[in-house]
């Protein structure tokens, strides 16, 4: 709109042969003026955005396009981005081999239950830290942050032996029990999200409820929780995604059991398949596309989830004050 106005001025300048008017407005159009960006600036921004966006999307596009390729397409120099035809065989192969619907159901349960438990517990803990004063609070919070900074690899072996002695290995309990006690994957981050969110709720709201005779737990469930819905959504989503994608610890804890996550199943399938064919054979080349198809199938649930909830993902970071002032 603004540009159109400026352009109009430029034309008026041309028509009336008003050299000054023409010059000033041409300059305005390209370079902008105070509070308005010129077209050069705009173009620069979009060019940067598009090139960075390309870098970000490149692996994704690569995966999608290559997963549809036939063996000839992969080898051929002429085909780079667009496969000669949509080839669903790679998907069919993976779909059947890993029994996709069943594996998906299992993976969703395996990520969903711990995520629910983690959301519930971190809400309670975050509320406790945010709203009450008690001795050693600073120290406890420091310890909590340390659990995030210490790499899980340090504690992996003792944890493994400990879970074995509790009899948690090979079942979903190995994830739900720690999560319900606030020690799930990245539990500290979720507690901090709730902490900073509950900090933002004005104290007077709770005080008035207290004056009306509500117990602390009633205040929590009836006042704080309903206000914290954006935080609940974001913690659940993040937690779900991280549990779903976690392969290192999951692989360790579930080793030798029937349970497995989707990415792990697909990885296992790929390893099985590649070991059948000798190094350098053509069938093995073909596996490249099948592997990518497998990865896409593993990511598909998350992508679907993301496209339905991306609003919450990107907006609630704002609302939840994850930035931690």
Partner 1 sequence: MKNTLITIQKLLGDTVYKAHEKLDAYVLKHVRKMTHKLTHNKLLNVSNSHIIIAQKFKIKITNKRREMAVGYIFISIWIVGYLIFALYPVFYSLYLSFFKVRLAGADIRLDFVGIGNYQAAFLQDPYFIEILINYVLRLALNVPVTIVFALIIAMLINQDIKAKGVWRTVFFLPVIISSGPVIAELMNQGATTLPTIENYQFIDLVINNVGVFLANPIQALFDQILLVLWFAGIQILIILAGLQKIDKEIYEASQIDGASPWEAFWKITLPSIMPLISVTLIYTVVSMSVFSLNEVIIYIRNIMLGESTPALTTGYGYSATLAWIYFFAMSFIILIFVGLIAVRGKKVRA
Closer to partner 1 by CB, 11 or 46: give it.
46
Residue 33, classed as helix, strand or coil, is strand
Which residue's structure tokens are 């008026």? 12
Q: Which stretch binds partner 1 (CB under 8 A): 7-15, 18-26, 91-99, 174-182?
A: 174-182
Distance separating alpha carbons of residues 263 and 281, to the nearest angstrom: 26
Q: Which of 70, 216, 259, 312 binds partner 1 (CB under 8 A)?
A: 216
Q: Which of 11, 30, 88, 148 binds partner 1 (CB under 8 A)?
A: 148
Q: Which stretch binds partner 1 (CB under 8 A): 90-98, 107-115, 127-135, 200-208?
A: 127-135
Count the alpha carbons within 13 Å of 89 in the hemisphere toward its beta carbon.
9
Residues in 64-123 that interact with partner 1 by CB under 8 A: 66, 121
267 binds partner 1 (CB under 8 A): yes
135 binds partner 1 (CB under 8 A): yes
Structure tokens at 92: 């069919």
Q: Which of 98, 232, 233, 298 binds partner 1 (CB under 8 A)?
A: 298
Q: How many residues at the interface with partner 1, by CB under 8 A?
A: 89
Q: Which stretch binds partner 1 (CB under 8 A): 45-53, 86-94, 199-207, 278-286?
A: 45-53
Do the Cβ atoms of 162 and 97 come closer than 8 Å? no
Q: Which of 101, 151, 202, 280 binds partner 1 (CB under 8 A)?
A: 151
226 binds partner 1 (CB under 8 A): no
Residues in 305-324 that interact with partner 1 by CB under 8 A: 305-307, 310-311, 313-314, 317-318, 321-324
Q: In terms of DSSP H, where are the helices of the chain? A: 2-15, 19-31, 39-67, 71-75, 89-97, 100-131, 137-149, 152-166, 173-180, 187-200, 203-211, 216-219, 225-227, 229-245, 248-253, 262-276, 282-320
> Residue 37 forms beta bridges with which residues?
32
Task: Note the Cα 202 to chain centre separation in Å.
Answer: 30
| Min separation Cβ 89 and partner 1, Å | 18
């Amino acid at each position: 709109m603004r540009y159109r106005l400026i352009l109009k001025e430029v034309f008026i300048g041309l028509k009336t042969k008003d050299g000054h008017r023409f010059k000033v407005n041409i300059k305005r159009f390209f370079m902008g003026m105070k509070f308005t960006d010129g077209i050069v600036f705009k173009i620069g921004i979009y060019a940067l955005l598009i090139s960075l966006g390309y870098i970000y999307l490149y692996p994704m596009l690569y995966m999608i396009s290559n997963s549809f390729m036939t063996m000839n397409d992969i080898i051929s120099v002429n085909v780079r981005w667009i496969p000669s035809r949509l080839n669903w065989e790679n998907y069919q192969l993976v779909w059947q081999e890993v029994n996709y619907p069943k594996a998906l159901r299992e993976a969703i349960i395996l990520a969903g239950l711990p995520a629910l438990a983690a959301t519930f517990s971190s809400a309670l803990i975050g509320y406790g830290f945010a709203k009450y004063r008690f001795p050693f609070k600073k120290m406890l919070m420091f310890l909590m942050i340390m659990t995030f900074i210490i790499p899980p690899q340090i504690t992996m072996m003792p944890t493994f032996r400990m879970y074995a002695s509790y009899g948690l290995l090979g079942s979903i309990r190995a994830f739900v029990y720690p999560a319900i006690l606030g020690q799930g994957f990245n539990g500290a981050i979720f507690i901090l999200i709730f902490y900073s969110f509950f900090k933002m709720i004005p104290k007077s709201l709770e005080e008035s409820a207290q004056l009306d005779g509500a117990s602390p737990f009633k205040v929590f469930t009836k006042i704080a929780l309903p206000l914290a819905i954006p935080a609940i959504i974001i913690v659940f989503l993040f937690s779900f995604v991280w549990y779903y994608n976690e392969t290192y610890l999951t692989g360790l804890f579930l080793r030798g059991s029937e349970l497995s996550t989707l990415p792990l199943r697909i990885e296992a399938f790929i390893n099985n398949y590649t070991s059948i064919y000798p190094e350098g054979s053509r069938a093995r080349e073909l596996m490249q596309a099948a592997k990518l198809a497998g990865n896409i199938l593993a990511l598909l649930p998350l992508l679907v989830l993301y496209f339905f909830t991306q609003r919450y993902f990107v907006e609630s970071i704002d609302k939840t004050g994850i930035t931690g002032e």
